[in-house]
Amino acid sequence: MKVPGRGMPGLRGRKVGDLPGVTAVARIDRRTKRLTKRLQAGEIAIIDHVDVDRVSAEALVACGAAAVVNVASGISGRYPNLGPQILIEAGVPFVDNVNQELFERVKDGDVVRICDGAVYLGEDVVGKGEPQTAEAVESAMAEARAGLAVQIEAFAVNTMEYVRGEGRLLIDGVGVPEIRTRMEGRHVLIVVRGYHYKEDIATLRPYIREYRPILIGVDGGADALLEAGYLPDVIVGDFDSVSTKALTCGAELVVHAYRDGRAPGLERVHQLGREAVIFPATGTSEDIAMILADDKGAELIVAVGTHGTLEEFLDKGRSGMASTFLTRLIIGSKLVDAKGVSRLYRSRISTPQLLLLVIIALITMGVALFSAPIGRTWLNGLQDVWNAFIFWLVGLFS
């Protein structure tokens, strides 16, 4: 398919379909999360992402990327990140470690061609990288697993640093802002647009319908709630990956700020004519959502799409993910993963119980009708109608 673009004149009349590789419009951004918002099916994603994580890879696959070109190292060896493997298994061509100059030579919307690790703009090679295969990814993952002990040690160091910096917030709740949404004694459902969030929300529908928890969306998690048909009560985050629709849906807004009070997301809130509460903290937005719910007296906190294992913490790509580990440790048994709720939760009135109740009600009505004089009259009338129907039916065949 011929697509107009800046690089097309260099093809000198040759048809796009005659050229080897993948040819498509390029979408380019150094932040993968921002890129996936505008990436269309059949387009090539050009990113700058060290250790491509699982969530980013799944988003690229869901967008229908024709190919992914990374100017960074998709598997640095720090830990066995799952992103590249997901891309390869989905059949998405993945070129890694392309020269950084690619971002200067290719503009968003250009038509480029990917072939054997080379990136062509017209007939010019503007970038060269390493085409990834299942074997290459598996080999890199094996090496990364071997060095995981070093990352665990670094994770422990980061955890201690976070304790020293945010101990009063975690233990005593010092610095947690006041909000108007009442959570005391209520269940709180925190949604992060992370691992299997769509499936988890779907399985939690009976739970949400019965308990009506306070709904907190963490950045894009607010859009996930809207997509599922729910209106968030509170939205927490720096608001770099949440839609305007979500920010103006009427939910209470809590802006995640730096420890010095700077809150880049506050400007966007004011531009939309909304007000927000500022929450300065060095952890992640999902951390402060949990801390907020715990501090405000939530009876139970159910987490959707959040990080729960060491590999998931590392997959987030931040040393500060140690804060999530500590937050979960402090909140303790009050925090439950969505999968645990969906497996253990049963509606208070199950389907068999409801059927039994209907049968008992019908039997009770029958006994009442048979015992009362008016009931016997009705039963005799029904018997006459039945006999007349049988007589009519037999007459049809005689």
Encode pLDDT of 63-109 as tens digits.
Answer: 999 999 999 999 988 778 889 999 999 999 999 999 999 999 999 99
Lowest mean pLDDT among 88-102, 123-137, 194-208: 194-208
Read off the pLDDT band of 228 (50, 70, 90). very high
Q: What is the pLDDT of residue 10?
A: 39
Q: What is the pLDDT of residue 233?
A: 97
Question: Which residues are CB-contacts of 155 (< 8 A; sequence separation ≥ 6)?
Answer: 310, 313, 314, 319, 321, 322, 325
More confident residue, 144 or 356: 144
* CA dist., res. 47 & res. 37, Å (int): 13
Q: What is the pLDDT of residue 143?
A: 84
Read off the pLDDT band of 11 (50, 70, 90). very low
Report whether pLDDT(368) > 80: no
Mean pLDDT confidence for 127-155: 83
Q: Which of 63-77, 276-290, 301-315 has the highest mean pLDDT?
A: 63-77
Mean pLDDT confidence for 204-215: 92
Q: What is the pLDDT of residue 132?
A: 95
Report whether pLDDT(317) > 60: no
Q: How many CB atoms lie within 10 A of CB 332?
A: 8
Structural element, H or E, at residue 34 = helix 32-35
Q: What is the pLDDT of residue 249?
A: 95
| Six-digit token string for 394 | 């037999």
State the chain's mean pLDDT as an integer: 82
SS3 per residue for the chain: CCCCCCCHHHHCCCCHHHCCCEEEEEEECCCHHHHCCCCCCCCEEEECCCCCCHHHHHHHHHHCCCEEEECCCCCCCCCCCCHHHHHHHCCCCEEECCCCCHHHHCCCCCEEEEECCEEEECCEEEEECEECCHHHHHHHHHHHHHCHHHHHHHHHHHHHHHHHHHHHHHHHCCCCCCCCCCCCCCEEEEEECCCCHHHHHHHCHHHHHHHCCEEEEECHHHHHHHHCCCCCCEEEECCCCCCHHHHCCCCEEEEEECCCCCCHHHHHHHHCCCCCEEEECCCCHHHHHHHHHHHCCCCEEEEECCCCCHHHHHHCCCHHHHHHHHHHHHHHHHEEEHHHHHHHCCCCCCHHHHHHHHHHHHHHHHHHHHHCHHHHHHHHHHHHHHHHHHHHHHHHCC
Q: What is the pLDDT of residue 8?
A: 42
DSSP bridge partners of 216:
190, 234
